[in-house]
Amino acid sequence: MEKGNYMKKVVKFGGSSLASPEQFKKVADIIKGEDSRRYVIPSAPGKRYADDTKVTDMLYQCHELKENGKDIKPLLEKIKSRYNEIIKGLGLKLSLEEEFAEIHRQLDAGAGSDYAASRGEYLNGMVLADYLGFEFVDAAEVIIFHMDGTLDVDKTNELLKDCLKSREYAVIPGFYGKLEDGTIHTFSRGGSDITGSLVARAIHADMYENWTDVSGFLVADPRIISNPEIIEAITYRELRELSYMGAGVLHEEAIFPVRREGIPINIRNTNAPEEKGTLIVESTCRKPRYTITGIAGKKGFAAINVDKDMMNSEIGFGRKVLGVFEDNGLSFEHMPSGIDTMTIVVQQSEFVEKEQQVIAGIHRAVHPDIIEMESDLALIAVVGRGMKATRGTVGRIFSALAHARVNVKMIDQGSSELNVIVGVKNSDFETAIRAIYDIFVTAQL
């Protein structure tokens, strides 16, 4: 064990890192390997193999069965056996019989889906605390949400500080907390990352380690690019752009608490702890290896094109058009514009239901010459702090896409020059990502 430093680290382990007794052993080795790894945030047991089911998904299903008046006993037994496999495999004496009986009672009494889902982390936290010999802290005591479901940031920070002040080591389950009235409430999926970040902020951690099943933040989604390069260091802002655009490693909201305190996040691989992973920092003078830091993207957008001669000189035109979206409760993703044309890019699934109201509203608000729509678009974000200093980046993106016969529907470069957003057809999505990856990364190797 490395001793003698007074560093404090918060370590969060994802579902696949805690899916079986073998994985638990790796996790314990990592934690015990450094004295500074004091506060541990576990997820619920994830997949043990490719087509396995996550415990969280089974718990949501349990709640749904209950809602439909079906018997939940067999599924609860299956979930129990997931935990018992771990408990037995680790040789622990712990019994979760009472806990499962209580969960059954609560679901019978009408507990909500958040309660059901939260039990995955709650139980896994108990098992891990028992195995490590660390104290267990129920997240419901320290993570507090307002009644509208938003986090009570200050209260949570205070409670976490108070609670952990007197505890040198603790396990705090991820993903959930409670509402002001005591009802259990969860973050959105993948939210254990946020819990880890909140704990790191509260204790002024030196580092927030986020342990998962890949060796860091990769330049592109490994499901699209086989064996992509690992990003050594990335800034919060770059990461925010990438995770917002679908790079799923870290919950998109997880950077906010640590960012306030300038605490770095280190993405690490539980299955390859010797690798350094990715460091996420406020700023760095480390030069990225390539012009771009990463590529990410999402499918399922629609673009609404509004044309009107001389729109440019009509004061308030843009505001009026956006007002129509606002009135219909729609947020927009991007808004590239020309002199007599503006395009509003929205999420298709939200937009379709309100399509006709929006078009009618735009007609009424600004009397355009033409409104055209295009659906089934994908947006790809090419992100990098290195792009500012490099000429021709956009040109290279275009030429790579042209070579791959991908038609570019839209392009938007933020004024920060940190990212370029390219819109392509959904069906061209993977080809486009590969083409961009090849020109900036493969060609430089």
Q: Is 214 in the site for ligand ADP (CB under 6 A)?
A: yes
> Phi and psi for 229 in degrees, rounded to 5?
-65, 155
Count the residues of the shown chain that bind ligand ADP, applying the rule CB under 6 A.
Answer: 19
Choice from 248, 262, 338, 414 touching ligand ADP (CB under 6 A): 248
Q: Is 55 in contact with 79 (CB distance < 8 Å)?
A: yes
Cα dist from 152 to 144, 276, 413, 419, whole Å: 6, 34, 35, 32
Q: Which of residues 396-415 bind ligand ASP (CB under 6 A)?
A: none
**189 touches, from ligand ASP, ligand ADP, Mg ion, none (C-beta below 5 to 8 Å by class):** ligand ASP
Three state DSSP letters for 294-309? EEEEEEEEEEEEEECC
Backbone angles phi, psi at 429, to 5 degrees: -50, -55
Residue 191 binding result from ligand ADP, ligand ASP, Mg ion, none, given CB thresholds of 5 to 8 Å by partner type: ligand ASP
Residue 271 CB, shortest distance to Mg ion, in Å, is 15
Shortest Cβ distance from residue 238 to Mg ion (Å)? 19
Using the rule CB under 6 A, is 189 a contact of ligand ASP?
A: yes
Burial class (CB in 10 A: 0-12, 13-18, 19+), 375: middle
Residue 41 or 87 having the CB closest to ligand ADP: 41
Q: Residue 196, interface with Mg ion (CB under 5 A)?
A: no
Please compute, for residue 428, the number of CA atoms within 13 A of its CA located in the half-sphere on the CB side: 22
Residue showing the smallest CB distance to ligand ADP in the complex: 14
Does the footprint of ligand ADP cover residue 238 (CB under 6 A)?
no
CA distance 373 to 273: 49
If binding is defined by CB under 6 A, does position 320 make contact with ligand ASP?
A: no
Binding letters toward ligand ADP, positions 250-289, x by CB under 6 A: ----------------------------------------
- Rounded to the nearest 10 degrees, what angle do helices 317-327 and 355-366 cross at? 150
x/- string (CB under 6 A) for ligand ASP, residues 93-132? ---------------------------x------------
Interface residue with ligand ADP, options 218, 304, 397, 441 (CB under 6 A):
218
E-assigned strands of 95-169? 135-136, 144-145
Positive or negative: CA dihedral 304, 306, 307, 312: negative
Query: Closer to ligand ADP at the Cβ: 114 or 193?
Result: 193
Nearer residue to ligand ASP within complex by CB, 116 or 401: 116
Give the CA diameter of the chain: 76
| Amino acid making up residue 279 | L
Residue reference for tokens 């094109």: 305
Question: Alpha-carbon distance 327 to 228, whole Å?
Answer: 42
- CB of 387 or CB of 433, closer to ligand ADP: 433
**By CB under 6 A, which span of 186-194, 240-248, 265-273, 419-427 interacts with ligand ASP?**
186-194
Q: Is 15 in the site for ligand ADP (CB under 6 A)?
A: yes
The entry of ligand ADP, ligand ASP, Mg ion, none near residue 214 (CB within 5 to 8 angstroms by kind) is ligand ADP
176-179 and 184-186 beta bridge pairing: antiparallel
Return the residues of window 36-75 that contact ligand ASP according to CB under 6 A.
Answer: 43-44, 54, 56
**From the CB of residue 247, how many other CB atoms can be counted at a distance below 10 Å?**
24
Distance CA 226, CA 54 (A): 24
Distance CA 118, CA 115 (A): 5
CB 396 within 8 A of CB 382: no
Closest contact distance (angstroms) between CB of 246 and ligand ADP is 7
Which token pair is 292? 């771009």
If one asks whether residue 175 binds ligand ASP (CB under 6 A), the answer comes out as: yes
Where do contacts with ligand ADP occur on this chain (CB under 6 A)? 14-17, 43, 46, 190, 212-214, 217-218, 220-223, 247-249
Where do contacts with ligand ASP occur on this chain (CB under 6 A)? 14-15, 43-44, 54, 56, 120, 174-175, 189-192
